[in-house]
Amino acid sequence: MTEELGWADVGAVVAVSAAATAAVGAVGAAVLWRSRHRSLQVLVPAIAVVTLLAVVGGLLGAAAAMFLSAHDLQVVLVVAVTAGALGIVLAVGLGRAVLRGSRTLVTAAQSLGRGDAVAVSPRPVTSELATIADEISDAGEALARARERQAALEASRRELVAWVSHDLRTPLAGMRAMAEALEDGIVDDPSAYHRQIRMDVDRLAGLVDDLFELSRIQAGALQLSLDDVALADLVSDSVHDVDALARTRGVRLTGGVDGGAVLADRDELRRALVNLVVNAVRHTPHDGAVTVTARQEGRHAVLTVQDACGGIPDDDLERVFETGFRGETSRTPGPDVGGGIGLAIVAGIVAAHHGTVDVANHGPGCRFAIRLPLTTTA
């Protein structure tokens, strides 16, 4: 018959075993702490050994307190040591697996720091290291996309500087020559020179305004004053603003609206739409037509500008809204051609309104479309 332990005996066994285990565990913890900078391949098996020694210490303490016979102690020790040895072997294998995973993460982190492609392989065995590996992979992809955007932005800025430098140099040189001619009194029609100088000044002022607006957009400093803007008013005002230019070029400019309103900054959105209409009129031949429309599509308002420019080459469609892009082989723009900034401003203003803008070849020319959230309907 095996004598059952009473609660007092159980408490005594727990106290003795805990004391012995704590004593061995304290020594093992101190050793592990001094070895904390060692490799995981060493630390993981060491933890298993300390655990085994703590269990053996508890058993010896219980035996010393006469709770275990010599025979029972031998049996329990054999079981504990056998299980502990197997546990140590497993711990060594786990330590190696964890070490391989950590080395993989180190290699991936070094690649991330150098800006190289990040590949985490083989995948770490623990969930924590796997999570870190996923984060490193995501960070690598994000940095790669950021580098691509940065390279594209730098290229567009260089192109913009080249265009703007030429656009500034040409009228300034002409204005200087006309001013010198007026000073020397060798001009037969001074009023014509004055008109030309004024036109060049207006053109340069418009270019500077565009550059300032673009800098605000790219710096994230564009402040919007949001209000419900009726689509009918927006289209009507934009057509009115560009009507004189359209008449001068012999282009028919019309507008149509299907009701609705958008939450937007009236002036900024009007500027974006006017830029699209001006761009359409400038590229539409004499006797061509430009149509501005606004309609509702589900919960969005769609503003479209259809021109008769003859279409945009497929290779240029994706670059239309890039800063400084004109799609022209010549760097000598006409008297009313912009500096390759207007459409970039459109894209920035629309993005600030949480909308989208795109372009596609359609009919006799191309169609620009702005999509914005619709707030009210008429």
Separation of alpha carbons 132 and 120, rounded Å: 10
For the cut 70, the answer to whether the pLDDT of residue 336 exceeds it is no
Query: Mean pLDDT over all residues of the chain?
Result: 78
Residue 268 resides in a domain: yes
Lowest mean pLDDT among 60-74, 180-194, 214-228: 60-74
Separation of alpha carbons 285 and 255, rounded Å: 18
Residue 127 resides in a domain: no
For the cut 80, the answer to whether the pLDDT of residue 6 exceeds it is no
Averaged pLDDT for residues 138-148: 81
Query: Which tokens go with 78?
Result: 């054999």
Separation of alpha carbons 314 and 343, rounded Å: 17
Please, where are the H alpha helices in the chain? 7-34, 40-64, 70-114, 127-184, 190-218, 231-249, 266-283, 314-317, 342-352
272 and 360, same domain (yes or no) = yes
Triad 162, 165, 169: Cα angle to 5°: 140
Question: Any residues with CB less than 8 A from the CB of 377 and at least 6 apart, and which?
Answer: 259, 260, 261, 296
Compute the residue count for the chain: 378
pTM, rounded to two decimals: 0.57
174 and 263, same domain (yes or no) = yes
For the cut 60, the answer to whether the pLDDT of residue 337 exceeds it is no
Averaged pLDDT for residues 247-268: 90
Please report, in angstroms and rounded to a whole number, the separation of the first and last CA atoms in the chain.
94
CB 100 within 8 A of CB 73: no
DSSP bridge pairs for 366 = 361
For the cut 50, the answer to whether the pLDDT of residue 335 exceeds it is no
329 pLDDT band, cuts 50/70/90, is: very low
| pLDDT tens track for 26-55 | 777 777 677 666 666 666 667 777 777 777
- The pLDDT score that the predictor gives to residue 378 is 43
Residue 340 resides in a domain: yes
Triad 148, 149, 153: Cα angle to 5°: 120
H or E segment and range at residue 257:
strand 252-257
Q: In degrees rounded to 5, what are phi and psi of residue 292?
A: -110, 125
Query: Which tokens go with 355?
Result: 């909308």
Q: Which of 60, 92, 114 corresponds to the end of one domain?
A: 114
168 pLDDT band, cuts 50/70/90, is: confident
| pLDDT tens track for 266-323 | 999 999 999 999 999 999 999 899 999 999 888 889 999 999 988 888 888 888 887 7
Separation of alpha carbons 353 and 339, rounded Å: 24
Question: Any residues with CB less than 8 A from the CB of 96 and at least 6 apart, and which?
Answer: 41
Residue 336 resides in a domain: yes
- The pLDDT score that the predictor gives to residue 15 is 73
Q: Which of 83, 114, 145 corresponds to the end of one domain?
A: 114
H or E segment and range at residue 372:
strand 365-376
Separation of alpha carbons 85 and 3, rounded Å: 32
| 349 compared with 82, residue with greater pLDDT | 349
Separation of alpha carbons 56 and 25, rounded Å: 11
Nearest to 174 by CA among 191, 198, 146, 197: 197
| pLDDT tens track for 67-99 | 666 766 677 777 777 767 777 676 666 666 666
**Parent domain of 45:** 7-114
| pLDDT tens track for 155-167 | 777 777 777 777 7
Counted domains in the chain:
2
Q: Which of 85, 114, 143 corresponds to the end of one domain?
A: 114
Residues of the chain with pLDDT > 90, as a percent, come to 20
CATH of residue 364: 3.30.565.10
76 and 224, same domain (yes or no) = no
344 and 218, same domain (yes or no) = yes
Averaged pLDDT for residues 343-370: 91
263 and 320, same domain (yes or no) = yes
For the cut 50, the answer to whether the pLDDT of residue 197 exceeds it is yes
DSSP state of 340: S
Query: Which tokens go with 34?
Result: 């001094």
107 and 193, same domain (yes or no) = no
Separation of alpha carbons 151 and 301, rounded Å: 34
Residue 233 resides in a domain: yes
109 and 202, same domain (yes or no) = no
Q: Which residue carries 């106290």 as its tokens?
A: 15
Residue 240 resides in a domain: yes
171 and 91, same domain (yes or no) = no
